[in-house]
Copies of this chain bind each other. A is one copy, B any other.
Amino acid sequence: MTADTQIPRATAQRLPIYYYYLSSLHEAGIKRINSTEISEAIKFDAATVRRDFSYFGALGKRGFGYDVSALLDFFSKVLSQDKLNKVAVVGTGNLGQALMKYNFVHSSNIQIVMGFDVDPKKKELKIDNEKGETIPVYSIGDLKSELNKENVTIAILTVPGKSAQEVTDQLVDAGIKGILNFSPIRITVPNSVRVQNVDLTTGMQTLIYFVDNFENIKSAK
Residue of B nearest to A205 (CB): B16
Instruction: List chain B residues, Cβ under 8 A from A63.
Output: none
Partner of A209, one of B80, B186, B220: B80
B interface footprint on A95-136 (CB within 8 Å = 1, 0 otherwise): 100110110111101100000000000000000000000000
* Contact of A16 with B210 in the complex, beta carbons under 8 Å: no
* Contact of B205 with A19 in the complex, beta carbons under 8 Å: yes
Instruction: List chain B residues, Cβ under 8 A from A209.
Output: 12, 15-16, 78-80
> A208 interface residue, CB < 8 Å from B?
yes
> A94 interface residue, CB < 8 Å from B?
yes
Assuming the contacts A17-B186, A95-B102, A105-B201, asked whether A207 and B217 have C-beta atoms less than 8 A apart, the reply is no
Instruction: List chain B residues, Cβ under 8 A from A85.
Output: 208
* Identical subunits present: 2
CA distance A102 to B96 in the complex (A): 11
* Contact of A211 with B7 in the complex, beta carbons under 8 Å: no
* Contact of B154 with A216 in the complex, beta carbons under 8 Å: no
CA distance A87 to B211 in the complex (A): 13
Assuming the contacts A43-B186, A94-B104, asked whether A198 and B203 have C-beta atoms less than 8 A apart, the reply is yes
> A192 interface residue, CB < 8 Å from B?
yes
Distance of A21 from chain B, by nearest CB (Å)? 8
Instruction: List chain B residues, Cβ under 8 A from A194.
Output: 207, 210-211, 214, 220
Number of A interface residues, CB 8 Å? 74
> A61 interface residue, CB < 8 Å from B?
no
User: Considering the complex, which residues of chain A in the window 167-221 have a beta carbon less than 8 Å from any beta carbon of chain B?
Assistant: 177-180, 184, 186, 188, 191-192, 194-196, 198-214, 216-221
* Contact of B178 with A216 in the complex, beta carbons under 8 Å: no
List 9 tightest A-B contacts by C-beta distance, closest first.
A16-B205, A94-B102, A178-B211, A196-B207, A194-B210, A16-B202, A98-B98, A6-B218, A105-B204
Interface residues of A (CB under 8 A from B): 2-3, 5-9, 12-13, 15-17, 19-20, 24, 41-43, 78-80, 85, 87, 94-95, 98-99, 101-102, 104-107, 109-110, 153-154, 156, 161, 177-180, 184, 186, 188, 191-192, 194-196, 198-214, 216-221
